[in-house]
Amino acid sequence: MAVQWSQVQRRVSNCFLATPIPILSAEACLPPLSVLLPHKRRRAALWLVCSPPQINPAFARLCRSFPSLLKFRAPDFHRSLCTRLDINVMPLNWKTPRPSPPTRSHLPVDAMAHLTLPLLGSLSFAPLINSSLLPDLPPRPPDNFMKAAYSSLKAKARLLMVEAWRLEHPPPPYYSVCLSLAPHPFMGLGKFIGGRIYQMRAQKSYLAAHPSWPSPDASPLCSLCGEEQETFSHTILRCPAKAAARSRHLQGLTPVGPDGPLWSSVSRLSSLAAYIKATATNYAPDRFPSVPLTPASMVFPSPPPSTLPPVRGPPLLFPASPRLGFLLPWTLGCFPSVMRSCLASIVLVLPFVNRVLVPLRVLDALGDGGVVFPLLLVFG
- Band (337; pLDDT cuts 50, 70, 90): low
pLDDT digits (tens, 9 = 90+) for 26-62: 999 999 999 999 999 999 999 999 988 888 888 888 8
Q: Which of 179-183, 336-340, 370-374 has the lowest mean pLDDT?
A: 370-374
| pLDDT at residue number 38 | 94
Are 197 and 293 in a shared domain? yes
Are 162 and 209 in a shared domain? no
- Band (5; pLDDT cuts 50, 70, 90): very high
In a domain, 314, yes or no: no
Last residue of some domain: 254, 269, 299? 299
Among the listed residues 175, 196, 180, 176, the one whose alpha carbon sits nearest the alpha carbon of residue 269: 196
- Rounded distance, CA 281 to CA 367, Å? 50
pLDDT at residue 222 greater than cutoff 60: yes
In a domain, 88, yes or no: yes
| pLDDT at residue number 196 | 93
| pLDDT at residue number 264 | 86
Average pLDDT over residues 229-252: 90
Largest Cα span, the chain? 113
| pLDDT at residue number 63 | 82
Average pLDDT over residues 186-208: 90
| pLDDT at residue number 371 | 42
Average pLDDT over residues 161-174: 93
- Whether the model clears a pTM of 0.75, i.e. scores above it, the answer is no
Last residue of some domain: 239, 266, 299? 299
Domain of residue 62, residue span: 33-168
Are 164 and 190 in a shared domain? no
| pLDDT at residue number 334 | 47
pLDDT at residue 74 greater than cutoff 90: no
DSSP string covering 130-146: SGGG-TTSPP-S-HHHH
- Rounded distance, CA 3 to CA 8, Å? 9
| pLDDT at residue number 26 | 93
Last residue of some domain: 122, 139, 168? 168
- Rounded distance, CA 258 to CA 175, Å? 9
| Domains: count for the chain | 3
pLDDT at residue 298 greater than cutoff 50: no
Whether residue 172 contacts residue 23, with contact meaning beta carbons closer than 8 Å, is answered with: yes
Are 140 and 236 in a shared domain? no
Phi, psi of 248 (to 5 degrees): -85, -35
In a domain, 359, yes or no: yes
**AA identity, residue 51:** S
In a domain, 304, yes or no: no
| pLDDT at residue number 352 | 54
In a domain, 307, yes or no: no
Are 191 and 160 in a shared domain? no
User: Cα dist. 189→186, 270, 279, 361 in Å?
Assistant: 5, 7, 17, 58
pLDDT at residue 297 greater than cutoff 60: no
- Rounded distance, CA 242 to CA 151, Å? 48
- Rounded distance, CA 99 to CA 88, Å? 11
Q: Which of 202-211, 239-248, 339-348 has the lowest mean pLDDT?
A: 339-348
Are 51 and 152 in a shared domain? yes
